[in-house]
Amino acid sequence: MTTVDRRPDPPESPSEAPSEAGRERRARELEEWLAAVPALARELVAQENAPAEAGDGDPVRLESRLELRLGADGLATPAVLARLRSALAATPSSSSWRFVNQLFGGREPAGMAAEMLAVVPNVSMYTFKAAGAQILVERELLRHMARHAGLADAEGCFTPGGSIANLVALLLARNVASPESRDRGLGGERLAIYTSAEGHYSIPKNAGILGLGRDSVRRVPTDDVGRMDVGALAQKLAEDRARGVRPALINATAGTTVRGAFDPIRALAALAREYGAWLHVDGALGGSVVLCPARRELIDGVELADTFTWNPHKMMGVPLQCSVLLVARRGELTRSLDETAEYLFQSHEDDVNPGHRSIQCGRRNDALKLWAAWLRLGDRGWDERIQRQFALARLAAAKIAADPALELIEPPPSINVCFAVRGRDSAALCDWLDREGRLKIGYGTVAGRRVLRLVCVNPDLEESDLDAILDEIRAAASAVPAGGD
């Protein structure tokens, strides 16, 4: 495609009514974009498994290679497309076999297509008046997800990520524990939050945001497989009660970030009832196992939760971002989030105006892509996808255990495989692989030891891809100096 840098035609004066010629020109430009985008998308998909260009792992070198500067004058469509192509070609693809770094990966084509289409109407999801059918799509999803979680009477909201879903859950718990806090602040009331030592960093972060203070968070030790220690939690709860501190929320993690461990939800629910604490299940990673009967025991007790975070953009492969908070009792979201806004809420009942139940006002349409993917796969398709992810993790673990140069740290509790290369520092390996553009893989800490974490979230990986991933790691081990592992 040519990259001739001609300026676009100047717009009409705002004081003049749009001319027929102006409309035709804008229509032609739109058609040009609608034709170009699918071609560019196909090009990106075709090349996504190639290694990154040398130097792209260095932000300074990458910035010097790309044309990123903005200017006073606009560019013609071909020139904009050329720069888009360059920037996107230098962006890692989470659907590549080379990307096993994060808790998301792979793609569901129907979801990807719906995400691209959602921006055509470009509506905001606060009222039925503004978004029409998309509100009904979102409502059907929330109902269906709640039924799978065993929370048949639940309400819910879409949020921009699991951290914000956890924030809203903590907000609801704070307002129940301290009913005056929404209007008057916490004052001198002392509340405590309990989470696994291996739980997500958003819990203390959100405690700071909400005025509870990061020091209100109790990090509970884990057992030898990474689950919250129920006995240690009971002791911390008793100690706080004796000191006049009120337990506000117990956070059960369904799929910890590094090890992929699932806390014993049912046992934690019993303690939550005993101490009058809110039970939140952070299932940002592992919440999707409610769709897999063979793995449902991992999340046993989720139906006892007050709130449940579930991220379809992780194990379900829906395009980022797509996160949901389910709330067991209807009305809780409205009590904590609703504000009067006559300029916004002007028609229809509250049930079809989700702005009353959202932490946001303007909100993008994250429902359509999940709905389209669910239509395509159905409940059984999600079950098959999740079983495939677990099978890949077991296969990767078996390959690692059989290689004397590698060390499997533990059998994978779910889809995260933690291992090490004997005689090599895990962080150094990850840095080399990233810098050389060979592989996106991260490291974490297990039992005080830094290890590699291979996330088997992409069900499109084949056995040959796992072999290629391990080959890249062995090659890095040859290039990285020996050191502590």
DSSP line for 310-379: E-TTSTT-PPS--EEEEESSTTHHHHHH----TTT--SS-GGG-GGGG-S-SS----HHHHHHHHHHHHH
- The two three-digit tokens of residue 23, written as one number: 């409309």
pLDDT of residue 17: 61
pLDDT of residue 1: 43
Query: In this structure, what DSSP letter does residue 228 have?
Result: B
123 with 131: CB under 8 angstroms?
yes
286 with 312: CB under 8 angstroms?
no
Question: Across the strands, what pairs with 309?
Answer: 282, 325
For the chain, count helices (H), then strands (E). Answer: 15, 11
Question: Across the strands, what pairs with 159?
Answer: 323
Report the C-alpha gap between 280 and 283 in whole angstroms: 9
The SS3 assignment for 15 reads coil
pLDDT of residue 246: 97
Contacts of 183-192 spanning 24+ positions with Cβ under 8 A: 185/211, 186/211, 186/212, 189/246, 190/216, 190/244, 190/245, 190/246, 191/216, 191/245, 191/246, 191/247, 191/248, 192/216, 192/217, 192/218, 192/240, 192/245, 192/246, 192/247, 192/248
Question: Across the strands, what pairs with 191?
Answer: 246
CB neighbour list of residue 430: distance below 8 Å, 6 or more residues apart: 441, 442, 443, 452
The SS3 assignment for 11 reads coil
Question: Going residue by residue through the chain (485 aa), what tens digit of pLDDT does each one get?
Answer: 444 455 555 555 555 566 888 899 999 999 999 999 999 999 999 999 999 987 788 999 999 999 999 999 999 999 999 999 999 999 999 999 999 999 999 999 999 999 999 999 999 999 999 999 999 999 999 999 999 999 989 999 999 999 999 999 999 999 999 999 999 998 888 999 999 999 999 999 999 999 999 999 999 999 999 999 999 999 999 999 999 999 999 999 999 999 999 999 999 999 999 999 999 999 999 999 999 999 999 999 999 999 999 999 999 999 999 999 999 999 999 999 999 899 889 999 999 999 999 999 999 999 999 999 999 999 999 999 999 999 999 999 999 999 999 999 999 999 999 999 999 999 999 999 999 999 999 999 999 999 999 999 999 999 999 999 999 999 999 999 998 66
pLDDT of residue 37: 95
**pTM, rounded to two decimals:** 0.94
DSSP string, 104-131: -----HHHHHHHHHHTTT---TT-HHHH
pLDDT of residue 260: 98
**Number of Cβ within a 10 Å radius of residue 250:** 29
pLDDT of residue 2: 43
**Angle 367-401/133-148 helices, nearest 10 degrees?**
40
271 with 290: CB under 8 angstroms?
no
Q: What are phi and psi of 97, to 5 degrees?
A: -65, -15
Q: Is the dihedral of CA 154, 160, 161, 165 positive or negative?
A: negative
DSSP string, 155-200: EEEEESSHHHHHHHHHHHHHHHHSTTHHHH--TT--EEEEEETTS-
- The two three-digit tokens of residue 133, written as one number: 């059918």
Domains located in the chain, CATH noted: 1-91 (no CATH), 112-373 (3.40.640.10), 377-479 (3.90.1150.170)
pLDDT of residue 12: 55
Query: In this structure, what DSSP letter does residue 410 have?
Result: S
Cβ-based burial of 15 (10 A; exposed 0-12, middle 13-18, buried ≥19): exposed
pLDDT of residue 7: 55
Sheet holding 449-455, edge to edge: 406-408, 416-421, 449-455, 442-446
Residues in the chain: 485
